[in-house]
Amino acid sequence: MAKEPTTPSQTIGPFFHPALDRAGWSDLTSAGARGDRIAVEGRVLDGDGQPCDDALIEMWQANAAGKYAHPDDPQPEDRLDAGFLGFGRALTAGDGRYRFKTIRPGRVPGPGGVLQAPHINLAIFARGLLGRLCTRLYFADERSNGDDPVLASIADPVARRTLLAIPQPAGGEGIVYRFDIVLQGQGETAFFDV
Partner 1 sequence: MTVRYAKPLPGAQPPLLHPAYRSTLKRAPLRPPLRLEQGLSEITGPGFTSGWAGPSETDLTRAATGEAMGQRIVVTGRLLDGDGRPIRQGLVELWQCNAAGRYLHEKDQHDAPVDPHFTGVGRTLTDANGEYRFLTIKPGAYPWSNADNGWRPAHIHFSLFGPAYATRLITQMYFPGDPLLEHDPIFHSVPDEAARRRLVSIYDPDLSQPGFALGYRFDIVLRGRDSTPFGM
Name, in order, each residue with C-beta under 8 angstroms of 76's C-beta and a sequence gap of 6 or more. Answer: 67
Q: Is 68 in the site for partner 1 (CB under 8 A)?
A: yes
Q: Is 161 in the site for partner 1 (CB under 8 A)?
A: no
Q: What element of type H or E holds 95?
A: none
Q: Is 1 in the site for partner 1 (CB under 8 A)?
A: yes
Q: Is 43 in the site for partner 1 (CB under 8 A)?
A: no
120 in Cβ contact with 77 (< 8 Å): no
| Alpha-carbon gap, residue 36 to 105, rounded angstroms | 8
Q: Is 87 in the site for partner 1 (CB under 8 A)?
A: yes
| Alpha-carbon gap, residue 159 to 155, rounded angstroms | 8
C-beta of 56: minimal distance to partner 1 in Å? 9
Q: Is 108 in the site for partner 1 (CB under 8 A)?
A: yes
Considering beta carbons, is residue 18 or 169 the nearer one to partner 1? 18
**How do 119-126 and 55-61 pair as beta strands?**
antiparallel
Name, in order, each residue with C-beta under 8 angstroms of 74's C-beta and a sequence gap of 6 or more. Answer: none
Sole binder of partner 1 in the list 84, 98, 100, 125 (CB under 8 A):
125
Q: Is 138 in the site for partner 1 (CB under 8 A)?
A: no
Near partner 1 by CB under 8 A, which window of 33-41, 127-135, 138-146, 171-179?
127-135
| Alpha-carbon gap, residue 129 to 39, rounded angstroms | 26
Near partner 1 by CB under 8 A, which window of 34-42, 96-104, 147-155, 165-173?
147-155
Q: Is 170 in the site for partner 1 (CB under 8 A)?
A: no
